[in-house]
C-alpha cells in the first residue's frame, strides 16, 4: 500500500444534488478496479454529531458499528461500497472546535495564540488522515457537505486545499447543477461556471466537473463549461437524473470516469469489472410485479427534508429485499394520527402486503401506531417493528392480549400502571443530567437467538447475531414472564439475558420486532434477513385473494 490518495467532492449551485451518490459511485468504480476505498463526510454544522438533530430537519441519523450517530451519506457509502465505516468518517465543525478548545485548555498548543487559521484546518487534516489510516485505504473520498460559497464550509475547503501540496496526492471533483428553465427549454451553464469560480477564489481548481441535470449535458455546453472552468472537455462528466441511484456507477463508467480518475494519479486501469452490478441494475429496472408496503409513523412538520431522507436506510432495505424476491416495492406513508381519528381508517391497512413501524421518539402518534399493530396482528398482515416499532408491538400485546390496561412505555407515560417498556437503568442519570448527546445504547450489540424460533431461521439458523442499536428504553424484565405466558416469543436476548432484542408471534405469517436497526446493514446485493422475511410474506400475501 502506497500513500493514500484523496478525492475531494464539492457541490455547487444547489444542495440536494445527490453528491453522496456521486461520491459513492466514484468509490465503487475504484473498488471494482481492486482498490481499497473509504469515504469521509464533512458536515459544516456545529452539532458534534447528527444524533441531536431531528430527522425531519436533517435526514436520517445513520448509526455506525461503533456507535457514531452520523450523516445519512455514510449509509450511501456503506451500501454502494459494501464496507463498514467508523464514526471517524463523519467530521463536523462541532467536533473540530471541541477538540481544538479542549487541547487549548490542556496547554497542548504550548502557549501559542490559538487561531482559526491555521489551527482549525490542521485539526480537520488530522481527522481526515486518521480516518483514512484506520481504513488502510488506497483511496479516500472526502465529501464536503453544503454548497461552495457557503460561509460555513470555507475552513474545510481551506483544509483540503492545504493538503494538495504533493503531486498525485489529491484531485477535486466538483458536482454542479445545470438547470433547464422551462421558459427557455435549454440547459444553462452559467450557475455552474460561477460555482467553479467561487472554488477558484478559495484556491481550488477542480480536475473534474460533474454536470448534474435533468438530461445529459450535450457537446456544445460541455465545450462552454470546459472553457470557462479551465477543465478539459473530456473531464466534464454527465450525471443526468435516473430512476434508480444504483444506475449511477454505470452511467459514470460509460464515460470512463474511473479510468480518467486513475490517469490523474498516473495509475493503470483494467477494463470492466462491474458485471454483477450491471446485471443487478438491469434486473431492478425491469421488474413488473409490485408489492405495496406501508410505513406507519407520525408525519408532519417535514421542513426542508422529505420523508425519504428521514427513513432512507429503511426504504433502501425494503428495496433490496424486494428486488431479491423479484418484485418492485411501492412504499407508502401512513400517518398514524389518521388511525387515532377513526378506527374505520384502519381498514386502509388491508391494501398493504406488509407494514413497518420504524424507529421513533416521543409520544406523538403513538396510539395510532399501536392500533395499526393490533390490526396487523389480528388480521395477519405481515409486520416488522423496528426499535420503537418493536416496543409498540410489546405494548399492544400487553394491553390487548395480556389485558394489562394502560400498559405503556415510560418514555410517553412515566406514571403508567404497567411500564412494559422502561428506561434502561444506566440511562436514568443521562436524562436527569440532560446528557443527551451520544449517550444512548449505540452501535453494535450481540444478541443470542433462541434455537427453533422463526427469527433464528430468518437469520440462517445463526445463534449469535450482531446488529446496530440506538435507544434508551427496553422491555421491562418484570413483564417478560407474563408476556411469554400469553404467547409472545422473545426470540433473541443480549448475552447476559437482560435485554430483549427480538420478538415474534407464532401463528402469524410474519410478525417480527427488533430492538435494533437492521436497516443499517442491508446491502443492495446482500439484503437483510428480517427484511427478506417481511417481503417474502408480503409476496405470499399478494398471491392470496383479499
Shortest spacing between CB 403 and ligand GLN, in angstroms: 24
Which residues make up the interface to ligand GLN (CB under 6 A)? 359-361, 387-388, 411, 470-473
Quote the CA–CA distance of 156 and 302 in Å, as a whole number. 29
The answer to whether 287 touches 328, Cβ cutoff 8 Å, is yes
Name which of 224 and 470 has its Cβ closer to ligand GLN: 470
Name which of 45 and 361 has its Cβ closer to ligand GLN: 361
Quote the CA–CA distance of 379 and 317 in Å, as a whole number. 24
Residue 112 burial class via C-beta count within 10 angstroms: exposed 0-12, middle 13-18, buried 19 and up: exposed
Shortest spacing between CB 276 and ligand GLN, in angstroms: 33
Shortest spacing between CB 534 and ligand GLN, in angstroms: 17
Catalytic residue (choose from 58, 174, 517, 528): 517
Shortest Cβ contact with ligand GLN: which residue? 359
Quote the CA–CA distance of 478 and 499 in Å, as a whole number. 12
Q: Give the Cα-Cα-Cα angle 306, 308, 313 (nearest 5 degrees).
A: 140
Contacts of 98 (CB under 8 A, 6+ apart): 48
517 a catalytic residue? yes
Name which of 31 and 471 has its Cβ closer to ligand GLN: 471
Residue located via cell numbers 445545470? 178
Shortest spacing between CB 372 and ligand GLN, in angstroms: 16
Quote the CA–CA distance of 307 and 56 in Å, as a whole number. 7
Catalytic residue (choose from 140, 376, 387, 402): 387
Name which of 252 and 392 has its Cβ closer to ligand GLN: 392
Which H/E stretch holds residue 359? none
Angle between helices 73-81 and 19-32 (to 10 degrees): 20
Does the CA dihedral 83-58-146-174 come out positive or negative? Answer: positive
Task: Provide the total of helices (H) and of strands (E) in the chain, helices listed first.
Answer: 20, 21
Shortest spacing between CB 388 and ligand GLN, in angstroms: 3
Name which of 299 and 361 has its Cβ closer to ligand GLN: 361
Shortest spacing between CB 358 and ligand GLN, in angstroms: 7
Catalytic residue (choose from 69, 198, 501, 519): 519
Cell numbers that stand for 28 in this block: 465503487
Name which of 5 and 471 has its Cβ closer to ligand GLN: 471
Query: Beta-carbon neighbour count of residue 515 at 10 Å?
Result: 30
Active site residues: 387, 517, 519
Amino acid at each position: 500500500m502506497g500513500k493514500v490518495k484523496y478525492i475531494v467532492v464539492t457541490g455547487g449551485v444547489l444542495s440536494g444534488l445527490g453528491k453522496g451518490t456521486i461520491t459513492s459511485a466514484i468509490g465503487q468504480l475504484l473498488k471494482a478496479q481492486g482498490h481499497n476505498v473509504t469515504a469521509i463526510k464533512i458536515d459544516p454544522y456545529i452539532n458534534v454529531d447528527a444524533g441531536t438533530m431531528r430527522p425531519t430537519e436533517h435526514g436520517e441519523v445513520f448509526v455506525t458499528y461503533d456507535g457514531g450517530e452520523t450523516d445519512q451519506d455514510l449509509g450511501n457509502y456503506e451500501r454502494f461500497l459494501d464496507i463498514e465505516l467508523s464514526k471517524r468518517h463523519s467530521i463536523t465543525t462541532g467536533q473540530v472546535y471541541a477538540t481544538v478548545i479542549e487541547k487549548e485548555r490542556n496547554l497542548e498548543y504550548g502557549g501559542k495564540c490559538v487561531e482559526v487559521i491555521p489551527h482549525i484546518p490542521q485539526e480537520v487534516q488530522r481527522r481526515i488522515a486518521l480516518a483514512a489510516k484506520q481504513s488502510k485505504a488506497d483511496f479516500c473520498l472526502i465529501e464536503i457537505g453544503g454548497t461552495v460559497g457557503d460561509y460555513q464550509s470555507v475552513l474545510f475547503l481551506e483544509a483540503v486545499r492545504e493538503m494538495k501540496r504533493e503531486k498525485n496526492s489529491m484531485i477535486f471533483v466538483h458536482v454542479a447543477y445545470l438547470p433547464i428553465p422551462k421558459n427557455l427549454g435549454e440547459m444553462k451553464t452559467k450557475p455552474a461556471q460561477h460555482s467553479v469560480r467561487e472554488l477558484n477564489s478559495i484556491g481550488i481548481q477542480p480536475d473534474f466537473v460533474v454536470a448534474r441535470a435533468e438530461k445529459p449535458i450535450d457537446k456544445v455546453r460541455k465545450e462552454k463549461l470546459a472553457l470557462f472552468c479551465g477543465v478539459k472537455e473530456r473531464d466534464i462528466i454527465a450525471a443526468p437524473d435516473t430512476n434508480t441511484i444504483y444506475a449511477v456507477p454505470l452511467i459514470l463508467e460509460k464515460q470512463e470516469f474511473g479510468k480518467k480518475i486513475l490517469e490523474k494519479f498516473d495509475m493503470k486501469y483494467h477494463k470492466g469489472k462491474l458485471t454483477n452490478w450491471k446485471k443487478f441494475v438491469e434486473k431492478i429496472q425491469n421488474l413488473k410485479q409490485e408489492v405495496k408496503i406501508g410505513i406507519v409513523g407520525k408525519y408532519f412538520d417535514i421542513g426542508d427534508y422529505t420523508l425519504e431522507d428521514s427513513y432512507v436506510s429503511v426504504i433502501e432495505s425494503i428495496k433490496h429485499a424486494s428486488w431479491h424476491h423479484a418484485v418492485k416495492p411501492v412504499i407508502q406513508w401512513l400517518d398514524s394520527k389518521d388511525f387515532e381519528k377513526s378506527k374505520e381508517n384502519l381498514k386502509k391497512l388491508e391494501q398493504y402486503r406488509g407494514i413497518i413501524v420504524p424507529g421513533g421518539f416521543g409520544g406523538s402518534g403513538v396510539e395510532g401506531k399501536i392500533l395499526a399493530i393490533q390490526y396487523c396482528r389480528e388480521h395477519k398482515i405481515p409486520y416488522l417493528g423496528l426499535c420503537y416499532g418493536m416496543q409498540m408491538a410489546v405494548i399492544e400485546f400487553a394491553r390487548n392480549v395480556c389485558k394489562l390496561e394502560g400498559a405503556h412505555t415510560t418514555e410517553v407515560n412515566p406514571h403508567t400502571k404497567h411500564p412494559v417498556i422502561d428506561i434502561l437503568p444506566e440511562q436514568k442519570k443521562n436524562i436527569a443530567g440532560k446528557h443527551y448527546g451520544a449517550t444512548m445504547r449505540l452501535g453494535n450489540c450481540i444478541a443470542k437467538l433462541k434455537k427453533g424460533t422463526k427469527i433464528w431461521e430468518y437469520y440462517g439458523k445463526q445463534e449469535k447475531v450482531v446488529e446496530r442499536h440506538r435507544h434508551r428504553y427496553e422491555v421491562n424484565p418484570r413483564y417478560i414472564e407474563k408476556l411469554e405466558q400469553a404467547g409472545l416469543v422473545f426470540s433473541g436476548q443480549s448475552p447476559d439475558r437482560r435485554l430483549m432484542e427480538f420478538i415474534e408471534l407464532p401463528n402469524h405469517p410474519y410478525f417480527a420486532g427488533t430492538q435494533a436497526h437492521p436497516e443499517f446493514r442491508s446491502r443492495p446485493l446482500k439484503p437483510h434477513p428480517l427484511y427478506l422475511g417481511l417481503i417474502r410474506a408480503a409476496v405470499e400475501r399478494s398471491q392470496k385473494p383479499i
